[in-house]
Amino acid sequence: MTSLERLRNKYPAQVRGRAPYPMEVLTAPYYAKTDLVASVYRQSRRGEVRPLNPHPVWSAERQVWEQRVVRVKPLPPAWRRPLLIGMAISSGFGIFAGLAWWILTSLAALPLSLLCVFAVAALGWILRAGRGTSVRVEQRTSVYVRTR
């Protein structure tokens, strides 16, 4: 058996060798072909990938749509998105805490106590007003059936 015959009988994953470019295969299930096309188009517009074939190909072995692309721009690190979300949340809390600290430190003892008294009174008034507006609805239904 020659090396060419052995190569012909092997699966593609068993063939060793270097590709001339870093290629990726983007996949999608049967019902998401349009999502795959839109994703590849969006990434190619941004300059992140370059599609090797214009349309996705159905892989009968794996039961998915496949589209081969060349990654032009490397993917961002996985920790970047959670870091940005955490920084946005913590900066919002930090700004709120800073404003609260500035308000409390700018007030003297007497105005601060008056502010607290009015806040407690307003909260009590809101809670009391909220209880009085509830309406109780009662409905009685009776059905008379006459049989002959």
| Residue 25 pLDDT greater than 80, yes or no | yes
Using the Cα atoms of residue 84, residue 85, residue 86 and residue 91 in order, give the sign of their dihedral. positive
How far apart (Å, rounded) are the C-alpha atoms in residues 34 and 55?
10
Residue 141 domain-assigned (yes or no): no
Q: Are residues 45 and 98 in the same domain?
A: no
Residue 89 domain-assigned (yes or no): yes
How far apart (Å, rounded) are the C-alpha atoms in residues 94 and 73?
35
Using the Cα atoms of residue 14, residue 20, residue 22 and residue 24 in order, give the sign of their dihedral. negative
pLDDT digits (tens, 9 = 90+) for 117-146: 999 999 988 888 766 555 677 778 878 888
How much is the pLDDT for 127? 84
Which residue would you say has higher pLDDT here, 67 or 108?
67
Q: Is the CB of residue 27 less than 8 Å from the CB of residue 65? A: yes
Q: Please tell me the total count of domains within the chain.
A: 2
How far apart (Å, rounded) are the C-alpha atoms in residues 103 and 99?
6
Domain containing 104 equals 80-132
Residue 147 domain-assigned (yes or no): no
Structure tokens, 113: 């106590």
What are the φ and ψ backbone dihedral angles of 18, each rounded to 5 degrees? -100, 135
Q: Are residues 55 and 28 in the same domain?
A: yes
pLDDT digits (tens, 9 = 90+) for 35-80: 999 999 999 999 889 999 889 999 888 899 999 999 888 888 999 9
Question: What's 16's DSSP letter?
Answer: -
Residue 23 domain-assigned (yes or no): yes
β-bridge partners, 67:
26
Q: Indicate the residue among 45, 71, 97 that finishes a domain.
A: 71
How much is the pLDDT for 12? 57
How much is the pLDDT for 8? 57
How far apart (Å, rounded) are the C-alpha atoms in residues 138 and 122?
33
How much is the pLDDT for 131? 67
Residue 143 domain-assigned (yes or no): no
Q: Are residues 85 and 67 in the same domain?
A: no
Residue 101 domain-assigned (yes or no): yes
